[in-house]
């Protein structure tokens, strides 16, 4: 009898395992099939033709001027006089403002004209062709971020055409050089033209996240913060001490434990947890995950939202010694001077010195979700896309120009149009493209949002 009970227990356990595998495979298969793309019927609108024209303009870093002129001409055609602000020879920014009825709390529509370089040999279609194929517009910048820039311009001009002053100032700003650090665009403007940002309380920019399942939008993530970047170059008299420095930095390149869990990070991960098949229990409450000793189970991208991470590039030797480039990706509210002091205290006893500080970003506090504008974004996103969950998103591996504004007390939110996983791979990659119907939906959202803010209905 005992032998039969043991056998029955083994059989039941085996059946449970098989059932679990069947459920997992079926769920995984549904996830895969949800990403299969069945082209919709193409509908070419004037707005799509305009995006096609913009994408066909090669605005790789340093070549923004034709894009500047294109946007300025659209503003003039819409009855608004733009200002072209030169920041360096061949580098310029486009600025236009609609004065509001009340001072303060102005809304800035921020976008960048430049795009990252594209190697045409690697693309299925030429990167500046603007080809339309299978209901998608192909080309560098179609996602990052000419589509959002034109949507902002469209919404801005719609308010201008009403000939009624908005409740608060409405500003359109297209900048150069964002992909190379923003020092000829937003970074330059905040130093040399602070009047551009006068009276601005909020900014809309890039950086949002959209979770998709079977072409339905399930989570609309609004970017509220990013990691901060500090880049320094270390130097030693010879290679041997630099090798010791590289070894000393190793624990901070792949840290095992979190530094701090910011409340906004906990909120973000809790929000996306239902949309993650394997990590859902870990993300639902990351404080509990850490307390249970399971932090190591989190994928790296989620871990880094709770860590100050160091990257080391090199070492390289020359006639003057050996150098090592160190990038520190800090939590948004970290003081960069304190991080540099920490690095100096670590490497100087080993014979290294800080030879150059190339980038020093931060601190840039995470923007609050408890604002009238965030509530308006949530309301209008649901009106556009249905009963979708709207929540925050924090970038771990990339940044944007919002950091310059957050440092000056401006609340910034990053938006994205509907983009599935495979399309997202084109951002800074090959075969960048945007679906035409999803672009038109994004235009609809931007029109709602800017119009509602301009007439004060969201406050």
When pLDDT is averaged across residues 144-157 and rounded to a whole number, the result is 98
Strand partners, 392: 222
Which pLDDT belongs to residue 27? 52
- Bond from prior residue into 363 cis (ω within 30 degrees of 0): yes
Q: What is the model's pTM?
A: 0.89
When pLDDT is averaged across residues 179-187 and rounded to a whole number, the result is 94
When pLDDT is averaged across residues 174-182 and rounded to a whole number, the result is 94
Which pLDDT belongs to residue 29? 52
Assign 382 to helix, strand or coil: helix
Answer whether residue 32 shows pLDDT above 50. Answer: no
- Summarised one tens digit per residue, pLDDT across range 15-25 is 666 665 555 55
Which pLDDT belongs to residue 429? 94
Distance CA 417, CA 222 (A): 11
Indicate whether 296 belongs to any domain: no
Q: Give me 50's structure tokens.
A: 């305009």
- Bond from prior residue into 438 cis (ω within 30 degrees of 0): no
- Summarised one tens digit per residue, pLDDT across range 102-126 is 999 999 999 999 999 999 999 999 9
Which pLDDT belongs to residue 420? 86
Which pLDDT belongs to residue 421? 83
Alpha-carbon Rg for the chain in angstroms: 25
Q: Which of 402, 413, 19 is nearest to 175 (CA)?
A: 402
CATH number at residue 111: 3.40.630.10
Indicate whether 100 belongs to any domain: yes
- Bond from prior residue into 378 cis (ω within 30 degrees of 0): no
DSSP string of 158-196? HHHHTTS--SS-EEEEEES-GGGTSTTTHHHHHHH-GGG
Answer whether residue 36 shows pLDDT above 90. Answer: no
- Summarised one tens digit per residue, pLDDT across range 297-345 is 999 999 999 999 999 988 999 888 999 999 999 999 999 999 999 999 9
Report percent pLDDT > 70 for the chain: 91
Indicate whether 423 belongs to any domain: yes
Answer whether residue 33 shows pLDDT above 80. Answer: no
Q: Confidence band (pLDDT; 50, 70, 90) for 11?
A: low
When pLDDT is averaged across residues 208-234 and rounded to a whole number, the result is 92
Assign 64 to helix, strand or coil: coil
Indicate whether 370 belongs to any domain: no
Answer whether residue 163 shows pLDDT above 60. Answer: yes
Q: Confidence band (pLDDT; 50, 70, 90) for 458?
A: low
Indicate whether 342 belongs to any domain: no
Answer whether residue 5 shows pLDDT above 80. Answer: no
- Summarised one tens digit per residue, pLDDT across range 364-422 is 999 999 999 999 999 999 999 999 999 999 998 888 999 999 999 999 999 999 998 88
When pLDDT is averaged across residues 222-234 and rounded to a whole number, the result is 96
Indicate whether 120 belongs to any domain: yes
Which pLDDT belongs to residue 16? 63
Residue 2 near residue 180 (C-beta atoms within 8 A): no
Residue-range definition of the domain harbouring residue 448 = 46-207+400-455
How much is the mean pLDDT over the chain? 92
Which pLDDT belongs to residue 38? 63
When pLDDT is averaged across residues 82-94 and rounded to a whole number, the result is 96
Answer whether residue 34 shows pLDDT above 50. Answer: no
Which of 22-36, 49-63, 113-127, 179-193 has the weakest average pLDDT?
22-36
Indicate whether 86 belongs to any domain: yes
Helix (H) or strand (E) holding 434: strand 433-435
Which pLDDT belongs to residue 235? 96
Indicate whether 303 belongs to any domain: no
Answer whether residue 37 shows pLDDT above 60. Answer: no
Task: Report the domain count for the chain.
Answer: 1
Q: Give me 384's structure tokens.
A: 């556009």
Which pLDDT belongs to residue 457? 77
- Residue 34 vs residue 401, higher pLDDT: 401
């Amino acid at each position: 009898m005992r032998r039969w009970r043991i056998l029955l227990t083994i059989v039941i356990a085996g059946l449970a395992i098989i059932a679990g595998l069947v459920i997992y495979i079926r769920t995984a298969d549904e996830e895969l099939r949800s990403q299969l793309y069945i082209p919709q019927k193409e509908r070419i609108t004037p707005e799509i033709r305009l995006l096609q024209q913009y994408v066909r303009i090669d605005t790789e870093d340093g070549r923004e001027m034709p894009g500047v002129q294109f946007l300025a001409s659209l503003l003039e055609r819409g009855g608004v006089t733009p200002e072209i602000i030169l920041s360096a020879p061949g580098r310029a920014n486009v600025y236009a403002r609609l004065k509001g009825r009340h001072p303060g709390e102005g809304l800035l529509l921020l976008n960048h004209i430049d795009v990252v370089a594209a190697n045409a040999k690697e693309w299925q279609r030429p990167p500046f062709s603007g080809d339309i194929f299978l209901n998608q517009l192909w080309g560098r910048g179609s996602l990052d971020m000419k589509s959002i820039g034109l949507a902002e311009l469209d919404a801005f001009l719609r308010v201008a055409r009403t000939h009624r002053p908005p409740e608060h100032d409405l500003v359109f700003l297209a900048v150069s050089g964002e992909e190379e650090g923003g020092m000829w665009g937003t970074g330059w403007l905040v130093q040399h033209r602070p009047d551009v940002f006068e009276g601005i309380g909020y900014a809309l920019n890039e950086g949002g996240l959209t979770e998709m399942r079977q072409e339905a939008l399930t989570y609309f993530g609004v970017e509220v913060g990013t990691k901060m970047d500090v880049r320094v170059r270390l130097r030693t008299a010879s290679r041997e001490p630099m090798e010791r420095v590289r070894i000393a930095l190793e624990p901070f390149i792949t840290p095992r434990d979190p530094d701090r869990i910011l409340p906004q990070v906990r909120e973000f991960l809790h929000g996306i947890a239902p949309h993650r098949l394997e990590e859902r229990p870990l993300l639902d409450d990351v404080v509990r995950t850490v307390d249970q000793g399971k932090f190591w189970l989190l994928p790296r991208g989620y871990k880094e939202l709770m860590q100050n991470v160091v990257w080391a590039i090199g070492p390289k030797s020359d006639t003057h010694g050996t150098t090592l480039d160190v990038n520190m990706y800090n939590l948004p509210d970290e003081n960069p001077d304190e991080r540099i002091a920490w690095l100096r205290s670590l490497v100087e006893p080993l014979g290294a010195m800080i030879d150059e500080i190339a980038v020093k970003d931060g601190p840039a506090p995470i923007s609050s979700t408890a604002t009238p504008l965030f509530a308006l974004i949530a309301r209008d996103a649901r009106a556009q896309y249905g009963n979708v969950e709207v929540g925050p998103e924090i970038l771990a591996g990339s940044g944007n120009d919002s950091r310059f504004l957050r440092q000056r007390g401006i609340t910034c939110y990053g938006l994205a149009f509907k983009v599935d996983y495979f399309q997202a791979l084109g951002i800074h990659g090959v075969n960048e493209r945007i679906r035409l119907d999803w672009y038109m939906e994004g235009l609809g959202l931007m029109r709602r949002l800017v119009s509602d803010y301009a007439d004060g209905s969201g406050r």
